[in-house]
Amino acid sequence: MQVTDQDLQYFINTIKSVSKYDFSEYSEKSLKRRLQKILEDYNLDIISLLTTLRLDRDFLEKVVKEITVNTTELFRDPPVWHLLRSRILPRFKNNKTINIWHAGCSTGQEVYSMLILLNEMGMLEKAKIFATDINSDVLDVAKQGVYKYRFNLGYLDNFDKVIKENPLNFEEYNDVPYEKYFDIDKVRDTITIKKTLTELPIFRKHDLVVDGNLFFAKFDLILCRNVIIYFNYSLQNKVFELFHNNLYSKGVLLLGMHETILGPWSSRFERLGQAYIKK
């Protein structure tokens, strides 16, 4: 059975009425597909789903978690990391501290990628890393820093591309061993981030739609990659406003590969690839 616009509206309203979650400004098409998936996975029709949502708080949390998409990788989209390495992070080289917010950090790979890059650049000591996500399950995974190994062999490729190689200078090659940052256990099929890294970031549950800035700090760098694609135009602008307000002047907002700021907030940022620098 196909989810109708009406169903989606009911779903959004139900969730909004029984919890603080608000999906009303999420991208309709995407949300519809997620809802479809949930109905199929639980083998429910929309009425029973809504009833259960009203009655069972835990189930609601579970559904919210399943609605969110948690795709991430270590050093996802290496060109973006090159940009960070060559053009963005050097801007903060002389800062006393660098506040970084990973909004929508998912299972934490991006956070650890950032820590590794900062460490390689000798800036880790200055960095204060805050990482948030709406889904507390993925935050738990993020805190552990343990990922599947075989399924994620691409991580190591990305690591090579970002850390070992330099696209601007093909002769350069930094032989950083994986063991410096990971424990790879092929038998258990795990790749584990070293404890020295996992204990650094501050992980918090956070809903970009309603929670504002959880931290009593402004940021030099906000990474919010592949998040706003699930939001509609209006919510995107709200999120941009939130980020703009909580960035230092000349602070940088980094969006996903195919995300751009259009509309009213575009003029408040200077664009540099996927990076938007607050004017």
Other Cβ atoms within 10 Å of 48 Cβ, number:
12
Q: Does 259 bind other proteins (CB under 8 A)?
A: yes
Minimal distance in Å, beta carbon 273 to other proteins?
4
255, 276 Cβ separation under 8 angstroms = yes
Q: Which residues pair with 44 in a beta bridge?
A: none
Q: Does 40 bind other proteins (CB under 8 A)?
A: no
The binder of other proteins chosen from 34, 206, 244, 278 (CB under 8 A): 34
Minimal distance in Å, beta carbon 197 to other proteins?
23
Other Cβ atoms within 10 Å of 236 Cβ, number:
23
148, 184 Cβ separation under 8 angstroms = no
Q: On the CB side of 7, how many CA atoms lie within 13 Å of its CA? A: 19
**Cα–Cα distance measured from residue 257 to residue 225, given in angstroms and rounded to the nearest whole number:** 7
Draw the binding track, 71-100, toward other proteins (x: CB under 8 A; -: no contact).
x-----x-xx-xx--xx-------------
Alpha helices in 86-230 (DSSP H): 109-120, 136-144, 154-159, 195-198
Minimal distance in Å, beta carbon 54 to other proteins?
26
Query: Residue type for 27, please?
Result: S
Residues in the chain: 279
Q: Which is nearer to other proteins, 176 or 277 (CB)?
A: 277
Minimal distance in Å, beta carbon 196 to other proteins?
23
Could you identify the residue written with the tokens 């738990």?
A: 140
DSSP 170-190: TT-B----GGGTEEEETTTTE
Q: Does 29 bind other proteins (CB under 8 A)?
A: yes
Minimal distance in Å, beta carbon 212 to other proteins?
24
Draw the binding track, 216-255, toward other proteins (x: CB under 8 A; -: no contact).
----------x-xxx--x----------------------
**Cα–Cα distance measured from residue 252 to residue 208, given in angstroms and rounded to the nearest whole number:** 18
Draw the binding track, 185-214, toward other proteins (x: CB under 8 A; -: no contact).
----x-------------------------
Minimal distance in Å, beta carbon 68 to other proteins?
9
141, 107 Cβ separation under 8 angstroms = yes
- Give the interface with other proteins as residue ranges (CB under 8 A): 27, 29-30, 33-34, 37, 69-71, 77, 79-80, 82-83, 86-87, 148, 151, 167, 189, 226, 228-230, 233, 256-260, 262, 270-275
